[in-house]
Amino acid sequence: DGGITQSPKYLFRKEGQNVTLSCEQNLNHDAMYWYRQDPGQGLRLIYYSQIVNDFQKGDIAEGYSVSREKKESFPLTVTSAQKNPTAFYLCASSIATRQGAFGYTFGSGTRLTVV
């Protein structure tokens, strides 16, 4: 079955530590996205990539980094510069490279907690 796989499901990070969240898709989608969701809030865009080896900052990119070396993979690194990283992180993909042109398929998410 085609879909998006995010791992791990739960992640605990110590203060000052970098962590990387994995996102893999086998939908052959060109565009991939990372969103952050805080309790009771909507989705805020961190980074997006429309093509391999290219990515763009979203609304809240500070303290995060990404790479897109393969079409299938779009890992997100939460760096120690991110002051409030505790949140639910969602990876998504879309067949269209223009944002919002078609529906997004989301992964099951990673819950990151700073301890």
Partner 1 sequence: GQQVMQIPQYQHVQEGEDFTTYCNSSTTLSNIQWYKQRPGGHPVFLIQLVKSGEVKKQKRLTFQFGEAKKNSSLHITATQTTDVGTYFCAGTGNQFYFGTGTSLTVIP
Q: Is 31 in the site for partner 1 (CB under 8 A)?
A: no
Neighbour tally for 63: CB within 10 Å: 15
What is the rounded distance in angstroms from the CA atom of residue 57 to the CA atom of residue 17? Answer: 22
| Shortest Å, Cβ 33 to partner 1 | 9
Shortest distance, CB of residue 44 to partner 1, whole angstroms?
A: 8
CA 111 – CA 12 distance, rounded (Å): 8
Please identify, among the stretches 11-19, 64-72, 74-82, 105-113, the one whose residues bind partner 1 according to the rule CB under 8 A.
Answer: 105-113
Q: Establish if 101 lies at the interface with partner 1 (CB under 8 A).
A: yes
Task: Reply yes or no: is the peptide bond before residue 8 cis, omega within 30 of 0.
Answer: yes
Question: What are the tokens at 98?
Answer: 């223009």
Q: Which of residues 8 and 103 has its CB atom nearest to partner 1 in the complex?
A: 103
Does 27 contact partner 1 by CB under 8 A?
no
